[in-house]
A and B are shown apart, each in its own frame.
Chain A
Amino acid sequence: MYQSFQEIIEIEKNTGKPFWEIVRDNDCREMEISEEEAFLRMQKMYEAMQNADTAYDPNLSSTSGLVGGDGEKVAVARRNEALLCGPFLGLVMEKAIKMGESNACMKRIVAAPTAGSCGVLPAVFLSLEQGKGYSREQMVKALYVSAGIGGIIAQRASVSGAAGGCQAEIGAASAMAAGGVAFLLGGDGEIISHAAALAMKNLLGLACDPVAGLVEVPCVKRNVIGAVNALTSADLANAGIRSKIPPDEVFDAMRSVGRILPEDLKETGKGGLAATPTGIAFRDNLKSF
């Protein structure tokens, strides 16, 4: 995978190939598979996301009892046209929460890049396909753009909450989705990279402070901000707004912020929301073996 946006943008300039194709070509080389096979594999990931979205069960709750049923509440509000954000953003919010809840309730999901942030990409892409009429082929290409961005983040910074805090999970997913959306809006590598950078800048330093150490509170609801932030960031980049800090430098900053973040805010369940009296009470009420 590529380590910088600069590398991909240079290849784009020299060959005329779009961002997603450059990422896919790299897979073909590394995995020794054909272009068709690589595309098909990514399509299967997209279909798995769609199946996970459809399989949402509003009656489930997680083992701890902290999570479940909220996706349905958004769905009802959306159907009643009671959401200020409107029907499209409402659909995005609904899908993000549903997927996060499905994950907490031990349903099958696609880690993208992690299980805790699995709602961001499908919320954005499935809603765009459903609500804005993009083709399935376009969605798979967008997912390839996201994968390329995730690869850059994994190598320049991290895609693990334990190593980099929540900015490395919801933040990474949001940057990946933002780049994918910028591509769908017609953006080239330059615009894609700035959409990803703008998204990450909004979530830099986000603590990973799960209550009782579980992927539930606040993880599930944070999928919503990751998804919505991706859309606004893509819109800004597509409107011509650029990150004053170059995208590759933004992700270097993410790495350094992840290092500086105290251990208590990196998936240890010791700081932030986990350390509130209510968070501690939830933890103490959990059953062990």
Chain B
Amino acid sequence: MNSFDIIGPVMVGPSSSHTAGAVKIGNISRKLLGTSVQKADIFFHGSFLATGKGHGTDRALIAGLLGFPVDDSRIPDSFRYADESGMEYSLSGIDLGDVHPNSVKLLLFGADGHKIEIIAASVGGGAIRVTEIDGLPANFSGDYPTLVVNNLDQPGHVTEITSMLSHKSINIATMQLYRSSKGGNAVIILECDQEVPDNAIKWLAHLEGILKVTYLGLEDRSK
């Protein structure tokens, strides 16, 4: 912790969790999609649903999906910017069950058939967690370069990924494995200390048994 965790961030109000956190969820979801967003279906849960309208959570999320940062004064007018850029969106409520009260589900569609389903939560002070991607669990903050690999639940995929990262001198900060069922769909999530280059991601995506590779870099490659 340092002084700027106390004094700061500079942000558009009114709420660090309901506004700044929502912008950040939009930013990270856009990066996970990997291209600019053409269509977004957004479903608000819990406190996001109850007080989101008054906190500008809807406008903040759209602003985040457009790539605006948390202190961007265009956030209140994000609907207009979305219309101008041709981004379609729908906003509605949902009951996601036993999840964080500030949760939201996003269905995003981008260029070249890109598509992703994300559930994320704003957990306080503008910090967020991605809790589900494409129907499988996840648990990461978006503060690190993050690699999400959907694969068939079969031996060897962890080794393929970790040896590739080792070859590129990339250190792994955290690693998570989840699967829908034995031998079914699985996901490997790695938070890294360095950026993963595009060619390494492409190489991974073409391996046998790898279904989809999603990468969240700290720089925005979708612009």
Contact = CB atoms under 8 A, between A and B. Distances in A.
B197 interface: no
Contact of A151 (B3, B11, B55, B92): B3
Contacts, number: 147
A114 B125 CA distance: 8
B135 interface: no
Contacts of B13: 102-109, 115, 118, 215
Given A42-B3, A148-B3, A289-B91, A109 B11 contact: yes
B54 A286 contact: yes
B7 A110 contact: yes
B93 A27 contact: no
Contact of B15 (A1, A215, A269, A289): A215
Contact of B6 (A118, A147, A215): A147
A64 interface: yes
Nearest to A60: B76
Contact of B2 (A1, A106, A213, A289): A1
Contact of A1 (B1, B8, B54): B1
B6 A289 contact: no
B51 interface: yes
A113 B14 contact: no
Given A115-B15, A148-B3, A160-B124, A108 B53 contact: no
A289 B55 contact: no
A45 B4 contact: yes
A109 B10 CA distance: 6
B11 A111 contact: yes
Interface residues of A, number: 55
A27 B92 CA distance: 43
Contacts of B27: none
Nearest to B59: A106
B196 to A, nearest CB: 24
Which of B9, B54, B71 has the most A CB atoms < 10 Å from its CB?
Answer: B54
Interface string A135-152: 000000001101110110
A45 B8 contact: yes
A159 interface: yes
A288 interface: yes
Nearest to A121: B7
B29 interface: no
Interface stretch (B42-50, B143-151, B154-162, B202-210): B42-50
A214 B12 contact: no
A130 interface: no
A162 B52 CA distance: 16
Given A160-B124, A216-B14, 20 more contacts: A1-B1, A1-B3, A48-B10, A63-B54, A104-B13, A104-B14, A106-B13, A106-B14, A106-B56, A107-B73, A108-B71, A108-B73, A116-B14, A146-B7, A150-B6, A151-B5, A215-B15, A286-B54, A288-B52, A289-B91
9 contacts: A24-B3, A45-B7, A45-B8, A106-B75, A108-B11, A111-B9, A213-B50, A214-B54, A269-B51
Interface of B: 1-16, 19-20, 44, 47, 49-56, 58-59, 71, 73, 75-76, 91-93, 124-126
